[in-house]
Homo-oligomer: A and B are copies of this chain.
Amino acid sequence: MTTPIRKIYVPGTLYPDLRVPMAEVHVSGEVPLTMYDSSGPYTDPQGGTDVNRGLPPLRASWIEGRGDTDPYPGRTVLPIDNGFAAGAALAPEFPHRRVPRRARAGAVTQLAYARAGRITPEMEFVAIREAQRRAAVRRDGTPPGTTSPGEVTPEFVRAEIAAGRAILPANINHPELEPMIIGRNFLVKINANMGTSAVTSSMEEEVEKMVWAIRWGADTVMDLSTGRNIHTTREWILRNAPVPVGTVPLYQALEKVGGVAEELSWDIFRDTLIEQAEQGVDYFTIHAGVRRHMVPLTATRVTGIVSRGGSIMAKWCIEHDRESFLYDRFEEICDICRTYDVAFSLGDGLRPGSIADTNDAAQFAELETLGELTRVAWAKDCQVMVEGPGHVPMHKIRENMDKQLECCHEAPFYTLGPLTTDIAPGYDHITSAIGAAMIGWYGCAMLCYVTPKEHLGLPDRDDVRTGVITYKIAAHAADLAKGHPGAQARDDALSRARFEFRWEDQFNLSLDPDTARAMHDETLPKAAHKAAKFCSMCGPKFCSMRISQDIRDAARQAEPAE
């Protein structure tokens, strides 16, 4: 019996030692279909993963080989980093201590290399990964303002990064990373948020959450943990993460000052950035766009400031009656980021939290500042993406994308949804998937998932799966609408299987084979039904697909042989 979905590794050309992971689906009577695969070594039967050992550092030799970084002792981990957790509440440390590296001088970012004309192993890796070994069939999508070629080459990847239109988040201290790219001329990516629960769970469980999210297709994860053991949890996740890990350093900094926003300081924040950069965080959400003078613009909103980072910084500005230290110290933040290649995700602290507040003065004022900060970061050779809303009705989505491209000089956009209505708590994965698919089509590069529990509670495993699959749908619908080369191959293969009643092929080609198979089993549970030339919806008598095949056969017989 053939294994229906098999892990394969594609070698490089510029760098022959590259092993780019993909999933190959066996399809009866057709050539196998290759699929993008973010799930890491966990889905490789030969993967031999061990959460206590961490993943192999596949990038280590590339990073060392560049000769522009050095190992150094790094910052000492302090009790405050884990919220002074002690005794039984103290989580066990990750068993192997990594020695951090930093730039010998200047920037060691993928942007700096790209600008210098260098194609790194990371760049070739993502070029191979994006191409999915498919013929570069370009469909008739209408990508607004995109410049995607028929084929994704390493040089195209380099050029997109150099232009600032794409980022390759890859901290030099995260050698376990399988490189990926975020930019509107590539496949649309999705992020899944996670975080420790209030109830202390084991470190294995925290790693398992990440593994679960990437199994279903999350391209990056954000660790939004709060409370105790925040440093240790992050270490366990990073050492086991084949995808980029993002954080909001402000959350940990706030923990360090006991949750009192006005007690935040540049020193504490700076120290937290270094702490996280040394661990290997690949991108930082920095809410430097929330400036003192913008806060009053939110006073007449229906839902005020709904971003946690935004409200913390607004509170700080008001209490101190001063400009945000994140804005004032932004160049210094860049100096840290370029030392480790931590990409920026410029946070939208003033994003709208309701349909009523969409596209208002506060939101767009911040967006302009984010554009200004993009230029500052680029001048330091830092990689930048820009975060976006939030809650936006359909007819105002395009304006968000267009304004972002203009204000932020085509830096990649990374949005939360947007939710297209406020009236469906419990279903906000759906209210937001509508907006996410649309903004992905319009050019948004990465979509932050929303689970059914949004606004209501903490997502469990099922919610995470539902959120990830829903966002894979939005991202793929966007790839189709953009005419991304090769994107339609999977739809076509699945539809051919559907038309020919190849049920197993349908399941294997789908985003969630387990769910599809289980639903089919509910009505037609027998194994024989998986070969039946009908389904439970119409039953054997009425099947339109079978009648349609009869018609086709009749038409073919009626034709003279060519």
- With beta carbons under 8 angstroms apart, the residue of B303, B393, B541, B551 that contacts A480 is B393
Tell me which residues across on chain B come within 8 A of A99, comparing CB atoms. Answer: none
- Bound-complex Cα distance A422 to B393 (A): 25
Tell me which residues across on chain B come within 8 A of A536, comparing CB atoms. Answer: 456-458
A300 to chain B, nearest CB (A): 9
Among A355, A420, A511, A522, the most chain B Cβ lie within 10 Å of the Cβ of A420
Q: For chain A, what secondary structure do more than half of its interface residues adopt (helix, strand, loop), or is it mixed?
A: helix
Tell me which residues across on chain B come within 8 A of A538, comparing CB atoms. Answer: 226, 308
A508 to chain B, nearest CB (A): 11
Whether A215 sits at the interface, judged by CB under 8 Å, is: no
Tell me which residues across on chain B come within 8 A of A423, comparing CB atoms. Answer: 473, 476, 490-491, 494, 509-511
Whether A539 sits at the interface, judged by CB under 8 Å, is: yes
Q: Which of A10-18, A205-213, A238-246, A310-318 contacts B (4 or more CB under 8 A)?
A: A310-318
A302 touching B499 in the complex, CB below 8 Å, given contacts A426-B516, A480-B420: yes
Tell me which residues across on chain B come within 8 A of A551, comparing CB atoms. Answer: 295, 298-299, 304-305, 311, 314-315, 318
Q: Which of A36-44, A163-171, A330-338, A427-435 contacts B (4 or more CB under 8 A)?
A: A427-435
A235-264: which have CB < 8 Å to B?
Answer: 251, 254, 259, 261
Q: Which of A125-133, A150-158, A542-550 contacts B (4 or more CB under 8 A)?
A: A542-550
Whether A446 sits at the interface, judged by CB under 8 Å, is: no
* Contact status B431-A477, CB under 8 Å: yes
* Contact status A542-B226, CB under 8 Å: yes
Tell me which residues across on chain B come within 8 A of A478, comparing CB atoms. Answer: 394
Among A308, A424, A535, the most chain B Cβ lie within 10 Å of the Cβ of A424
A111-141: which have CB < 8 Å to B?
Answer: 140-141
* Contact status B520-A456, CB under 8 Å: yes
Whether A374 sits at the interface, judged by CB under 8 Å, is: no
Q: How many copies does the complex hold?
A: 2
* Contact status B311-A544, CB under 8 Å: yes
* Contact status B519-A393, CB under 8 Å: no
- With beta carbons under 8 angstroms apart, the residue of B302, B482, B509 that contacts A495 is B302
* Contact status A555-B494, CB under 8 Å: no
Whether A537 sits at the interface, judged by CB under 8 Å, is: yes
- Bound-complex Cα distance A519 to B552 (A): 49
Whether A204 sits at the interface, judged by CB under 8 Å, is: no
- Bound-complex Cα distance A520 to B423 (A): 15
Whether A306 sits at the interface, judged by CB under 8 Å, is: yes
Whether A342 sits at the interface, judged by CB under 8 Å, is: no
* Contact status B355-A492, CB under 8 Å: yes
Whether A395 sits at the interface, judged by CB under 8 Å, is: yes
Whether A469 sits at the interface, judged by CB under 8 Å, is: yes
A82 to chain B, nearest CB (A): 17
Tell me which residues across on chain B come within 8 A of A528, comparing CB atoms. Answer: none
A 55-83 to B, binary, CB cutoff 8 A, 1 in contact else 0: 00000000000000000000000000000
A188 to chain B, nearest CB (A): 12
A 430-454 to B, binary, CB cutoff 8 A, 1 in contact else 0: 1101100110010000000000111
Whether A307 sits at the interface, judged by CB under 8 Å, is: yes
* Contact status A441-B394, CB under 8 Å: yes
5 A-B contact pairs sorted by A residue (CB < 8 Å): A310-B544, A315-B547, A424-B473, A426-B512, A455-B535
Identify 11 new A-B residue pairs, CB closer than 8 A, beyond the known A303-B548, A306-B545, A431-B473: A298-B552, A302-B492, A303-B545, A311-B547, A312-B544, A356-B492, A395-B480, A426-B510, A427-B511, A430-B433, A458-B537
- Sorted from nearest, which 8 A-B pairs have the closest CB atoms? A304-B548, A457-B523, A354-B495, A394-B481, A311-B544, A311-B547, A426-B515, A420-B477
